Structure 1
Amino acid sequence: MSQPSHDIVAIGNAIVDVIARADDGFIAQEGLAKGSMQLLFTTEEAEALYAKMGAGLEASGGSAANTVAGLAALGRKCGFIGQVAPDQLGAVFAHDIRAQGVSFTTEVRAEAEPPTARCLILVTPDGQRTMNTFLGASQFLPAAALDEALIADAAILYLEGYLWDPEEPRAAMRKAIAIARGAGRKVAFTLSDTFCISRHRADFVKLIEDGDIDILFANEAEITALTELDDFEAAVAKASASVPLLVVTRSEKGAIAIKDGARFAAPAEPIDTVVDTTGAGDLFAAGFLAGQAEGRSVEDSLTMGAICAAEIISHYGARPEADLKELVTKRFG
């Protein structure tokens, strides 16, 4: 097996985030489920909600894209595969992710409709984010668009559950798993949201039981939904029996990992004020995977994840504002 040229290559939704403040009254008025994610199925729906939002911050995003941006900020070599349209937001996304030092070779979709994906994120005063996602062009990522050489040359292929919903990228991710497996690489998967599990639980369980997932990321709600067990410890025990490395985030309670039956834990990093939880899980995954790429212990990798997550929730947006490498160096030297 050849030495990989990239640490991680991710496949996910290529989305531009639009983040704005909102109060609980606005969330209720629009009939949104606070703190969760819902899909907007038409351009018209997306434009209608956008028109009602207050002034916001616009930046390239998407769950897996946020993770590789964090990994790149930590000095790891990464790639990203995702579909954009030939429009202004598509150009913004491509420029931003390449500016982060991430390899982005996916060809721009030829058709202008649907347009590039966007996620309208409403942040309430308690820091909770309610995401309204229009998948646009990202949900038409075809298997033919995969950079097979890039996937085969990455130590870890990282997949986001959000992209499992549309049929075309689901087929692309199945092909990517086969490519990574054929090259002797590892596959990491994040469950993303209970919404995804409710729609595709059988698929996710089969991927795990078939041995296609080496590293599984989840939060408390997701792991209980996946296992259909209300008790957290029972859910962790069930899931960890079928995957080599299970990582579960627990918000202010920190995070745990189960590797080959051994349990590890790290506390959450102290923070004065939670401003915006957008991207917390994405950047936790970045810190953890960076730690693993550096050959650190599971416990230290959990701590790196907690450091990155704490930085993200201290400000608006899902991309780091502080120097993540410096924050990690202060802790570990």
Structure 2
Amino acid sequence: GYFLTSDVDTILRVAALSGKNEEKLMAFNLSAPFLSEFFTKQMEQVLPYVDILFGNREEASAFAKSKKIEDSAEAVCNYFCNLKRPDEMIHKQRIAIITNGKSAIVYQSGQTKGTYTVSPMDHQSIVDTNGAGDGFVAGFLYQFQQNKSLDDSIEMGIKCAKYVLRQSGFSLGDRDQF
């Protein structure tokens, strides 16, 4: 998402390439509320090309406000999954995933909607929340690109986010637990 602030043309070139290839997916992270607030035009240019959308509850709320839709993770997922694609694109099924800290994850895949419960984590083991969302996206995409199920991909995203929460900064350190 942060690339919206500097080079939308490059995003659109990459997106156009992935849009014409059944095996390539374009993932996009809402990244921060200010992107939906101040880079609305750029986001509107890019989102039709996106296959997988990620965000957290605060980012989804800013997105909903910018689109004048209901302020809920479900509404944001539904808006994205039903967004019109450019005619030249292969019409792949879209996925939207909104995380919400320790609360349930809201997702939509095509027209299938659901929530995914996040198992509790010992609050005392949380060292730093920076990068937890990025860890979730990395874990999800790692599994998903291996043709794992949506549930398996979300579970790996949660596992990676929890790993990052136990680190100072976004440090991968010892990854033997994966």
- TM-score normalised by the chain length of structure 1: 0.45
Q: Which residue of 2 aligns with 1:178?
A: 16
Q: 1:182 to 1:238 in 2, by over 3 A?
A: closer
Specify the alignment match of 2:167 in structure 1: 315
2-structure distance, mates of 1:304, 1:171:
32
Whether contact under 8 Å (1:271, 1:314) holds in the other structure is: no
Equivalent residue, structure 2, for 1:248:
98
Residue 196 of structure 1 is matched in structure 2 by 35
Report the number of matched residues.
Answer: 162
The higher-RCO structure (CA 8 Å, 6+ apart) is 1
Q: Does the alignment pair 1:265 with 2:108?
A: no
Paired residue type of 2:133 = G
**Distance across 1 between alignment mates of 2:60 and 2:172:** 27
1:174 & 1:181 partners in 2: Cα distance?
A: 10
Structure 1 gaps of 5+ residues are 1-160, 328-333
Whether the 8 Å contact between 2:140 and 2:154 is mirrored in structure 1 is: yes
Counterpart amino acid of residue 62 in structure 2: A
1:123 maps to which residue? none
The yes-or-no answer on 1:233 pairing with 2:74 is yes
Structure 2 residues not aligned, in runs of 5+: 84-92
- Alpha-carbon offset, residue 286 of structure 1: 0.8
Question: Is the CA contact (8 Å cut-off) linking 2:54 and 2:98 kept in structure 1?
Answer: yes
Paired residues of 2:55 and 2:98 also in contact (CA < 8 A): yes
Q: Does 1:280 align with 2:121?
A: no
SS of the residue 2:49 aligns to: coil
SS at match of 2:172: coil
Equivalent residue for 1:293? 145
Cα separation, 2, equivalents of 1:309 and 1:285 = 8
Match of 1:91 in 2: none
CA distance in 1, matches of 2:116, 2:43: 26
Structure 1's 264 and 291: CA in aligned 2 closer, same or farther, altered over 3 A?
farther
> 1:258 and 1:181 mapped to 2: Cα distance?
20
Tell me, yes or no, if the aligned pair for 1:187 and 1:214 is still in contact at 8 Å: yes
Equivalent residue in structure 1 for 2:50, among 198, 204, 213: 213
**Preserved CA contact (<8 Å) 2:36 2:63:** yes
Larger Rg: 1
Q: Do the aligned partners of 2:4 and 2:43 also contact (CA within 8 Å) in 1?
A: no
From 149, 162, 177, the equivalent of 2:2 is 162
SS at 2:46 equivalent? helix
Check 1:223–1:264 CA distance in 2 against 1; reply closer, same or farther (3 A cut).
same
RMSD between superposed Cα atoms in Å: 2.1
User: Where does structure 1 differ by over 6 angstroms across 4 or more consecutive aligned residues?
Assistant: none
Counterpart in the other structure of 1:59: none
Q: TM-score, normalised by structure 2?
A: 0.80
Residue 135 of structure 2 contacts residue 161 of structure 2 at CA under 8 Å; is this kept in 1? Answer: yes
**Are residues 187 and 172 of structure 1, via their aligned partners in 2, closer, same or farther at CA, if it must alter by over 3 Å?**
same
CA distance in 2, matches of 1:192, 1:234: 18
